[in-house]
């Protein structure tokens, strides 16, 4: 039984994340961006509104849980087992929400205004990476 648990703890995904620890948040941010770019269509569809609402809800829950981890509230629970993935989930949701803004904004205005907005989102991407230490204390 101990071997099975040890094997589970060192899964291929965990090994990959440990090897690429520096770039994993960027991969998850881009993954969220691509996910919404491929799945979202029109802002007035029920599916799109449901996806955006779930992103915001899950982001809020993930941030709350992550900030409560140091309190020891999640000891011996399923959340403790996966707490190392919480920052990656936050990055995914940030990427997905950023993508939604790009998709909807680019469809609603001219190309020049979209370029300015996209430039601001790229700056936010870099700010997100540099300020990560601030909101993940």
Condensed to tens digits (0 to 9), the pLDDT of residues 8-53 reads: 556 787 888 888 788 888 888 888 888 887 888 777 788 888 988 9
Within a domain: residue 12?
Answer: no
Does this model's pTM top 0.85? My answer is no
Which residues have CB under 8 Å from 100's CB, separation 6+?
36, 40, 48, 51, 52, 55
Within a domain: residue 5?
Answer: no
Choice between 111 and 81, residue whose per-residue pLDDT is larger: 81
What is the extent of the structural domain holding 58? 39-135
Within a domain: residue 15?
Answer: no
pLDDT recorded at residue 131: 66
Within a domain: residue 29?
Answer: no
Q: How many distinct structural domains can be found in the chain?
A: 1
Tokens matching residue 60: 């809020």
- 83-125 residue pLDDT tens: 888 888 988 998 888 888 777 766 666 666 667 777 877 787 7
């Amino acid at each position: 039984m101990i071997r099975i648990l040890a094997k589970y703890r060192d899964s291929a995904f965990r090994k990959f994340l440990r090897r690429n620890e520096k770039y994993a948040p960027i991969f998850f941010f881009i993954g969220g961006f691509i996910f919404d770019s491929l799945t979202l269509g029109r802002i007035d569809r029920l599916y799109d509104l449901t996806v955006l609402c779930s992103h915001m809800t899950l982001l809020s829950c993930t941030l709350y849980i992550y900030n409560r981890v140091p309190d020891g509230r999640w000891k011996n629970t399923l959340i403790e087992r996966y707490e190392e993935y919480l920052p990656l989930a936050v990055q995914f949701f940030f990427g997905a929400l950023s993508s939604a803004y790009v998709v909807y904004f680019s469809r609603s205005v001219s190309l020049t205004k979209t370029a300015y907005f996209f430039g601001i989102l790229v700056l936010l991407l870099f700010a997100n990476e540099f300020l990560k230490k601030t909101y993940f204390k």
